[in-house]
Amino acid sequence: MTARMKTVWLPAARGAAAVVFGVLTLLWPRLTVLALAGVFGAYALVDGVMLLGAAWWHRRERRSAVTCAAAGTLGVAAGLITGVWPGLTALALLVVAGAWAIVTGCLELWVATRMRHELRHAWWWRASAGLSAAAGAQLWLRPDADAVAIALVLGLYALIAGGLWLAAAWREYRTRPGRGVRSWTGPASGARVAH
């Protein structure tokens, strides 16, 4: 897999998974806590596995590999927790999902800040990170939330974050060298843009 394809597939796959999760939770907001835990667990597990794959492919780039591995491990852990204890209460699901969203957002923000010169479109990472942390904080601020409220927060977060990731993947694909397409910020494709 070429270096460019590595930078396209991760946001595309994460975006697609997030959009599917968001659509499912918003189409059926009255899911039981058990069903919502299952859907969230599957999404967190898939996202975690994708991030672990990215960590392996970027293992020569120590900072990004460690951060992807940490976020991936957290996603897998959140997915396994909801799978092993399917009888989670709304409060327990809220704590797990909130922790996952906040920590993942902080890790993404760290990557976007530390690697702003290496990442072609770092502001996408910052936007996704801020959205993730905000969704996690919203969950934690409402410990009395029921399954419907949790589903709405997670569903909206997933749809918007998924859209950001898909847009980032599309932009990266469109600005690949040899296409002659100019980046949205002005420089010709192939020029690395520091944000």
Q: Find the farthest-apart pair of alpha carbons in the chain and give their distance in angstroms, rounded.
A: 54
Question: What's the CATH number where 21 sits?
Answer: 1.25.40
SS3 for 1-40 is: CCHHHHHHHHHHHHHHHHHHHHHHHHHCCCCCHHHHHHHH
∠ CA 78-82-83, nearest 5°, is 115
Say if residue 2's pLDDT is above 50: no
Give the pLDDT of residue 121. 65
Structure tokens at 146: 């029921």
Structure tokens at 66: 């460690």
The helix/strand/coil state of 187 is: coil
The pLDDT tens digits of the residues spanning 124-170 come to: 778 888 999 999 999 888 877 787 888 889 899 999 999 988 988 88
Residue 195 lies in a domain: no
Residue 57 lies in a domain: yes
Give the pLDDT of residue 156. 92
State how many domains the chain has: 1
Residue 37 lies in a domain: yes
Give the pLDDT of residue 16. 92
Give the pLDDT of residue 49. 92
Residue 64 lies in a domain: yes
Residue 190 lies in a domain: no
Domain around 53: 3-174
Give the pLDDT of residue 76. 93
Give the pLDDT of residue 116. 65
Residue 191 lies in a domain: no
Q: Which of 138, 121, 10, 126 is nearest to 75 (CA)?
A: 10
Give the pLDDT of residue 183. 38
Give the pLDDT of residue 134. 92
The pLDDT tens digits of the residues spanning 11-54 come to: 888 889 999 999 988 888 777 777 888 888 899 999 999 889 88
Say if residue 181's pLDDT is above 60: no
The pLDDT tens digits of the residues spanning 67-123 come to: 888 989 999 999 998 888 767 777 888 888 999 999 988 988 887 777 666 656 667
Q: Which of 51, 48, 120 is nearest to 78 (CA)?
A: 48
Residue 185 lies in a domain: no
Residue 104 lies in a domain: yes
